[in-house]
Amino acid sequence: MAVNLLVPALVAGNTVIFKPSEETPLVAERLVAILNKELPNGVLNIVHGDGKVGNDLVESTDINLVAFTGSLTVGKQIMKTASVNLKRLVMELGGNDPMIVLNDADINNAAYFAVASSFENSGQMCTSTERIYVVKEISDDFIERVKEVAMQYQMGPW
């Protein structure tokens, strides 16, 4: 998710301060280290900390745009804080992604997508398929194919 926000900002010529979730600091450190091998010094920066650190960044008058992926509750707080200085915001707040399967769908492809999208990252992504609506006429075939595909997935350590 961070790449979807960092790369466009960098390509547009901006400097970036990346404050990742305090729950995934090592992944963020690795990403920044890889990108910084190619970027000039000081273009991509990383700051670690909790919500107070994030709030301090949002309050800073030196920051023009805040991009946030996370909960609706934190998003509302960011919006309130950012509004004081009329900062621009990009927010992805608790995705809620349905999948719709119509009569003319390729059932095999739809089943593979449904399972992959639901299982990827253990379903802990804002773009994970959370519910599926299937036209009644093909629902039995679709459900059967989803079961077959899902049985091919291995859970736990490989």
- From the candidates 38, 126, 144, 148, give the one annotated as an active-site residue: 126
| Residue 126 annotated to the active site | yes
Q: How many CB atoms lie within 10 A of CB 150?
A: 14
Q: Identify the active-site residue in 92, 120, 130, 148.
A: 92
Amino acid at residue number 54: G
Site of tokens 């077959």:
148
- Count Cβ atoms below 10 Å from residue 134 Cβ, excluding itself: 21
CB 82 within 8 A of CB 66: yes
Q: Which residue do the tokens 């059932």 mark?
A: 107
Q: What is the DSSP string of 22-82?
A: TT-HHHHHHHHHHHHTTSPTTSEEE----HHHHHHHHH-TT--EEEEEE-HHHHHHHHHHH
Active site residues: 92, 126
